Amino acid sequence: MQAGFQQRPPVQQPMGGPHGSVMAPGHSHAGAHVIQPHPGAPANASWTTQFTVRSNDVNPHRTRNIVLLIAGILLTGALGLALFVIVLFQSIAFSGVGFVILLLSAIPLVAIIGTVLLLDRWKPQPILLMASCVLWGAVASVVITLVGQLIFGVAAFALTGIDTSSPILSAVVLAPVFEESAKTVFLVVIVLAARKFFEGPLDGFMYGSLIGAGFAFTENLLYLNSAYAEAQAGGLIMLFFVRCVMSPLLHSSFTALAGLSIGFAARRGTWWMALLMWVPGLIAGMVLHAAWNGVASLPLSGVMSLIVMLALSIIIGVLWWATAFFLWYRETKTAREALMRYAGAGWLTEEEARMLGTWNGRRAGRRWAQGSARTHMKAMIRVAASLPPVRDRVEAGVGGAAEKEYEVFLLNRLAAERRSMMRAMGLLAP
């Protein structure tokens, strides 16, 4: 038995290789990690239909998915309600100006969400999960930070007599530690509770960026309110430029570092490895956060301070964008390579693998499929996007039998969607 799949008598030798299977990279004898050959290997022509064993037709994660959905709805609903109260209070606090401040604070948030959604197009993650990330950052992490710093300040003063309300101590030490811990702990929750939606560094980068953007939204709201209360329109405009125009990616960058470290471990590591890798990303985010706050606290002239902060924010912004596009490119390249391995094992033709593994191929496939067949083509694209990270984990020997069973489920679903598409196009008898 290979890769945890049920033993199947092959109908014919798959066309993808001399042995009908693909060995896992780095293994001299892949054994349990080879791709199970398809029992009815494809012909050389495009859009062939294939026989597939009618096993594993039920998603092995179905019960877990229902539990996660209910938990996600409850969490998102609670955090969304809290954010609504904040927004409502903000809108009436300064009359008409309060609504203007709200809109100004939301500009970076909307821009970052839009960018993340573009990055998410290759393998879309649940909107509910992504909304939870934004709301966690905007509400839960802010509350945890405020409460945590308050408790720590009281305890530190009672035990040592140290006053932690010092601006420098608060900005350079306490804020990075408490804020980054409060934000990134939700990444740990995701990777432990919803591992199938946290499959690599791109996912971690996106989730971290959304959490950071949510946190920055609420923080901008508070700071812009204070600026208007102290200096009216002039102070509001100046702070809006510094926080929302000059440095909109700060919190997203800080939090994304933990997302990256967890994501690299989640790709091919066990749950405890993903948990352990939270620490270096968390520390890196704290250090970068402390560096930014330290520079902002330097006793420089107004112009010099602005120049230094602008230079640092440009560096951070460029690194964020470069990381985003590198991860996006890497994700699509890895997916293409994995799909070609499935083609070698007979689950796809090479033409199908190229179609499902490129942007141009996907667009061509959707144009080719007409009427109801287009729905099945889109489903094939979604399933094909889910397979590569699962194959990575099977080849790495993590995830156990459940991961292998889930791969079989996805492969059978891919074949079923192909048959349905062919019938809808009139190329296969009902």
Domain end marker among 247, 276, 297: 297
Does a structural domain hold residue 143? yes
Domain identity same for 194 and 238:
yes
Domain identity same for 165 and 270:
yes
Does a structural domain hold residue 89? yes
pLDDT-derived band at 299 (thresholds 50, 70, 90) equals: confident
Domain identity same for 364 and 284:
no
Does a structural domain hold residue 99? yes
Give the mean pLDDT of 10-21: 31
Domain identity same for 149 and 240:
yes
Give the mean pLDDT of 362-387: 93
Domain identity same for 268 and 146:
yes
Number of domains in the chain: 2
Does a structural domain hold residue 304? no
Domain identity same for 206 and 343:
no
Residue 369: domain span = 327-430
Domain identity same for 277 and 348:
no
- The predicted pLDDT at position 269 comes to 80
pLDDT-derived band at 68 (thresholds 50, 70, 90) equals: confident
| Owner of token pair 């099977």 | 394
Does a structural domain hold residue 74? yes
**Who contacts 31 (Cβ-Cβ below 8 Å, separation ≥6)?**
2
Domain identity same for 197 and 108:
yes
Diameter of the chain measured on Cα atoms: 82
Domain identity same for 196 and 338:
no
Buried b (16+ CB within 10 A) or exposed e, 376-408: bbbbbbbbbbbbbbbbbbbbbebbeeebbbbbb
Does a structural domain hold residue 285? yes
What's the token pair of residue 235?
Answer: 């102070």
Residue 50 has pLDDT above 50, yes or no: no
Give the mean pLDDT of 396-405: 82
Domain end marker among 297, 316, 348: 297
Domain identity same for 260 and 352:
no
Give the mean pLDDT of 157-186: 92
Does a structural domain hold residue 307? no
Lowest mean pLDDT among 63-72, 247-256, 373-382: 63-72
- Ramachandran angles phi, psi of 106, nearest 5°: -85, -15
Does a structural domain hold residue 17? no
Could you read off the pLDDT of 99-146 as tens digits, one per residue?
889 999 999 999 999 999 999 999 999 999 999 999 999 999 999 999
pLDDT-derived band at 22 (thresholds 50, 70, 90) equals: very low
- The predicted pLDDT at position 428 comes to 72
Domain identity same for 231 and 155:
yes
- The predicted pLDDT at position 94 comes to 64
- The predicted pLDDT at position 33 comes to 56
Domain end marker among 251, 281, 297: 297
Domain identity same for 82 and 167:
yes
The answer to pTM > 0.75 is yes
